Amino acid sequence: MPNVKHQKWWGWGEENVFFTWQNKPAFAPMVKRAIGIDLRPRQRDTVDFATAQVPETRISTEQLEILNGIVGADNAVTEDHTRVVHWAGKAVTDILKTLQNRFDRIPDVVVYPGSEDEVQALVDAAVELDLVLIPFGGGSSISRSLQPRPEEERTVVSVDLGRLNKVLEIDETSGLARIQAGVLGPDMEEQLNSRGWTLGHFPDSFNHSTLGGWAATRSSGMQSDKYGDIADIIRGMNVVRQGGLVTLRPLPSTSTGPSLREMFIGSEGRLGIITELWVQVHREAEQREVIAYMFPTWQQGLTAMRKIHEAEVHTTFARISDAHETEFSLATQKAPTSLKKTISAKGQDALWAVMRKRGWDTKAMCIAYVCYEGSKDDVARKKKTVAGIAKGQGALILGSGPGALYDQKKFDTPYLRDFLLEQGVIGDVSETAAPWSQLTTVHKNAYAAAQSAFEELGKTGWIMSHMSHSYHAGACLYFTFAFEISDNVDHEYALVKTRIQQSFIDSGATLSHHHGVGAEHSPWMEQDVSPAGADLMRGLFATADPGQNFNPGKILDSPDTLYRALGQDQPPAPGAQS
């Protein structure tokens, strides 16, 4: 068995890492108010794999022998646990289906190639033998981009890139690194940091996702304001396709026709397997500081975020939670465990009391975090400019204490979904991007859409949001929703999620800013890029992969859409929902 790290088979991340609420006194009352349930102590430490009812592999002996011949028998695995780990990503519905033994169609074999030549041989064999190849990075897809089509009759091969995990070279003069696609975030940063460099790309899923996966899904990290989205970071790449390797050299910029680089970024395995990437890397910053600010209202906070951009302050990130998310965030504060922390908690209560006296509605206030990197002087200058902008919008500067806490906790939140599922609650996300001029409308309409779904289901549901990645022209809004589920969970989830997604499109926003398309978002592609645009993309996939051997059914024309659970073929016409 190859030495490749995987997430736990039944949920997010690693075994023995849990979300706990007993040390957070405000959490259970907040959940009760938000979704009307009483939290129980966590029961589930792990799930015994013996409970999984795994469909048998359908691979023939002849096919397995051919794959063994390419990657070596140890690196072609048909054993159940490995196939289950590779059957889906970590969308909440993937996790739920796994826990409920609802494996629609799982890979018949998982192969771990150890070189680009082996990937080429696999690709050629897949076309020759009419196999389905699904590239696998960290398995953190949240848009159902890894599952085989449920009705797939052919042999399905999951191609795990985990053995291709090295930083191969760094062009120190140009700040460019050549890195293998299967490297996980922490392993890559460790190799870069040891030579004084960083990629600066830190998605929330950083610990369990790979460079190749980021490229294939058009990922964006929390520090994209400074380092760019993955599409800005990638300068060149190797993609293995039937008939040969596409090599795109690392170039700062080029005007050689439509961009092949852009075409492969976001292709979700449909155009071939990415084996190597040339990426921009940066020297680690001399100083890094995260400062927290409290704004009286969402509108004032959002205005401040836009003004920071207008003033060209060049922050590393600038993010603001709306009032609901601020309430949630405050409710996850731990009970003080020392005298110092007790004094600090009392100080916070006193601060809120003063703010109320000054006319603040503490239910409307919104917390923001801004990260600064650079030399000492540079950081000080940026902080000063932002302080002026924030105060101009009525903000209180909370300082670096809460900022540092946010920075430490940033990769923990995903574990909350596993905990909530155990409590019979779905907690999931929808994210989008829109021009600054549309953001308030997008926010309002997503709330209304979720609320209408909750009402139709007769549920007390919760929605909250933050603005994360920002650009000259606009920003990303990230929504989290939660509600108690019943036996009819497929219908309930589909109703809430489709309402929110449709509200994005109807409000002039995109159907996804950084989670990609997969099967989850594919029904809206025609509305997102226009029917003629979708046709052009269809033509590309048909020409590039006439046998539909490369992750078919993703991005466009997925058979397995949320509308199935609603008994419909496709989304309503644009605007019909509002």
Ligand X SMILES: Cc1cc2nc3c(=O)[nH]c(=O)nc-3n(C[C@H](O)[C@H](O)[C@H](O)COP(=O)(O)OP(=O)(O)OC[C@H]3O[C@@H](n4cnc5c(N)ncnc54)[C@H](O)[C@@H]3O)c2cc1C
Q: Which residues are annotated as a binding site for substrate?
A: 417
Binding mask 152-191 for ligand X (x = CB under 6 A): ---------x-------------------x----------
Measured from the CB atom, the residue of 134 and 281 that comes closer to ligand X is 134
Which residue among 274, 396, 450, 495 contacts ligand X (CB under 6 A)?
274
Which residues 6+ apart lie within 8 Å of 282 measured at CB?
Answer: 175, 197, 198, 199, 200, 227
Which residue among 75, 93, 155, 205 contacts ligand X (CB under 6 A)?
205
Question: Which tokens sit at 489?
Answer: 């969970």
Please state, in angstroms and rounded to a whole number, the distance separating the CA atoms of residues 346 and 344: 5
Number of residues this chain uses to bind ligand X (CB under 6 A):
38
> Is residue 212 involved in binding ligand X (CB under 6 A)?
yes
Of 56-64, 97-105, 206-214, 358-366, which segment contacts ligand X by CB under 6 A? Answer: 206-214
Partners of residue 368 on adjacent β-strands: 293, 320
Classified as helix, coil or strand, 470 is strand
Which residue among 220, 432, 465, 503 contacts ligand X (CB under 6 A)?
220
Question: Rule CB under 6 A: which of 339-358 touch ligand X?
Answer: none
Distance of CA 137 to the CA centre of its chain: 13
Residue 182: exposed, middle, or buried by beta-carbon count in 10 A (0-12, 13-18, 19+)? Answer: buried
Cβ of residue 202: shortest distance to ligand X, in angstroms?
Answer: 8
DSSP 337-362: -SHHHHHHHHHHHHHHHHHHHTT--T
Question: Rule CB under 6 A: which of 396-415 touch ligand X?
Answer: 414
Which is nearest to 438 in space by CA: 367, 342, 364, 507? 507
Which residue among 152, 204, 428, 545 contacts ligand X (CB under 6 A)?
204
Of 241-249, 391-399, 455-463, 509-517, which segment contacts ligand X by CB under 6 A? Answer: 509-517
> Is residue 238 involved in binding ligand X (CB under 6 A)?
no
Question: Which tokens sit at 545?
Answer: 């992969």
- In three-state form (DSSP H/G/I as H, E/B as E, the rest C), the secondary structure along 66-107 is HHHHHHCHHHEECCHHHHHHCCCCCCHHHHHHHHCCCCCCCC
- Residues in binding site: 135-141, 204-210, 217-220, 268-274, 417
Question: Rule CB under 6 A: which of 449-488 touch ligand X?
Answer: none
> Is residue 210 involved in binding ligand X (CB under 6 A)?
yes
Which residue among 216, 421, 446, 517 contacts ligand X (CB under 6 A)?
216
Active site residue 112: no
Which residues 6+ apart lie within 8 Å of 443 measured at CB?
Answer: 298, 322, 465, 477
Residue 428: what are its φ and ψ, rounded to 5°?
-145, 180
Please state, in angstroms and rounded to a whole number, the distance separating the CA atoms of residues 244 and 241: 5
Measured from the CB atom, the residue of 167 and 389 that comes closer to ligand X is 167
The length of the chain is 578
Of 121-129, 292-300, 450-458, 513-521, which segment contacts ligand X by CB under 6 A? Answer: 513-521
Task: Specify whether the CB–CB gap between 109 and 57 falls below 8 A.
Answer: yes
Which entry of 112, 293, 447, 478 is annotated as an active-site residue? 478
Question: Rule CB under 6 A: which of 546-565 touch ligand X?
Answer: 551, 554
Of 191-199, 215-223, 382-390, 420-428, which segment contacts ligand X by CB under 6 A? Answer: 215-223
Write out the residues near ligand X by the rule CB under 6 A: 12, 89-90, 134-142, 145-146, 161, 181, 203-205, 209-210, 212-214, 216-217, 219-220, 268-269, 273-274, 414, 514-516, 551, 554
Would you name the residues annotated as active-site residues?
A: 478
